[in-house]
Amino acid sequence: MGKYRYILLDMDETILDFSLAERTALRATLEEFGIEYTPDVHKHYSEVNLSLWKRLEKGEITRDELKRLRFEIAFGRDDGTYMNARWMDNLAECGFYLPGAREFLDKLAATDIRVFIITNGLSYTQNGRIRASGLIDCVEKIYISEEMGAVKPDPLFADIVIGEIGDPDRSRYLVAGDSLSSDILLAENAGLDSCLFVAEDKDLPAGYRDHDITYIAHGYDELLSVILS
Q: Which of 113, 180 has the CB closer to Mg ion? A: 180
Confirm or reject binding of residue 19 to Mg ion (CB under 5 A).
no
Q: How many residues sit close enough to Mg ion to count as binding (CB under 5 A)?
A: 6
Q: State the binding string over 198-227 for Mg ion (x if CB under 5 A, else -).
A: ------------------------------
Q: Which of 30, 223 has the CB closer to Mg ion? A: 223
Stretch that binds Mg ion, among 2-10, 54-62, 91-99, 136-144 (CB under 5 A): 2-10
Contact 27, 137 (CB under 8 A): no
**Torsion angle of the four alpha carbons 52, 92, 181, 20, in this order, in degrees rounded to the nearest 10:** -100
Confirm or reject binding of residue 179 to Mg ion (CB under 5 A).
yes
Q: Kindly state the DSSP code that residue 170 receives in the 8-state scheme.
A: G
Burial code (b: 16+ CB inside 10 Å, e: under 16) for 124-147 equals bbbbbbbebbebeebbeebbbbbe
Stretch that binds Mg ion, among 12-20, 37-45, 135-143, 190-198 (CB under 5 A): 12-20
User: Distance between terminal CA atoms of the chain?
Assistant: 9
Confirm or reject binding of residue 22 to Mg ion (CB under 5 A).
no
Alpha carbon distance 106, 216 (integer Å): 21
Q: Which of 30, 198 has the CB closer to Mg ion? A: 198
Single out the residue of 22, 57, 178, 193 in contact with Mg ion (rule: CB under 5 A): 178
> Which active-site residues does the annotation give?
10
Q: What's the gap between Cα 61 and its chain centre?
A: 19
Q: What's the gap between Cα 15 and its chain centre?
A: 8
Single out the residue of 4, 6, 10, 97 in contact with Mg ion (rule: CB under 5 A): 10
**Contacts to Mg ion by CB under 5 A:** 10, 12-14, 178-179
